[in-house]
Amino acid sequence: MLKKLIFYIKEVTQMKYILLSFLILFSFSSNNAFSNTIEIEMLNRSGKNIMAFSKRVVNVDIGDKIFWKATNKGHNVEFVSFPKGVKVFKSKLGKDTSFDFTIPGIYLYQCTPHKMMGMIGIVVVGKDYSNLEIIKKSKMIGKSKKTLKQLILEIK
């Protein structure tokens, strides 16, 4: 009887360690387990628009990722205005790229060679609009001036 009780206690103790290990492992990976990846294509034509991103305004949660697909060559992604604490981001021309959004706020980005043609987009992270005034004051050239005004209306 005593041997059975000792055996039972050892089994329960092992199960507790296994369960605890699983919980610890799950807690470290849970941030990525529930994040989303959104794909945006870099295009020469999207409907009536030439030189455009397939999605102009995207809302994501903190921890989500955007994958920009170089569907048509000659495009890139460059952050123009973004929340404090975010490092400058500029991808190579004609290459797929991605970015993990860990800081809330509004990110304004462009395709560097086609910014004059209005090839810009906005990402809103965590429903945080605290840097909207900075985005509104971002210096745009060519068609991007008009496009930025339209995008700002879309995010409200």
- Domain CATH code at residue 112: 2.60.40.420
Overall number of domains in the chain? 2
* pLDDT tens string 53-85: 999 999 999 999 999 999 999 999 999 999 999
- The distance of Cα 137 from the centroid of its chain, to the nearest Å, equals 22
What is the domain range of residue 138?
Answer: 37-155
| The pLDDT of residue 47 | 87
The answer on 98 and 28 residing in a single domain is: no
| The pLDDT of residue 19 | 43
Q: What is the pTM of this model?
A: 0.79
Residue 35: pLDDT band (50, 70, 90) is: confident
Residue 41: pLDDT band (50, 70, 90) is: very high
57 three-class SS: strand
Contacts of 18 (CB under 8 A, 6+ apart): none
Extract the tokens encoding 40: 């945006």
The answer on 27 and 69 residing in a single domain is: no
The answer on 84 and 15 residing in a single domain is: no
The answer on 91 and 30 residing in a single domain is: no
The answer on 146 and 91 residing in a single domain is: yes
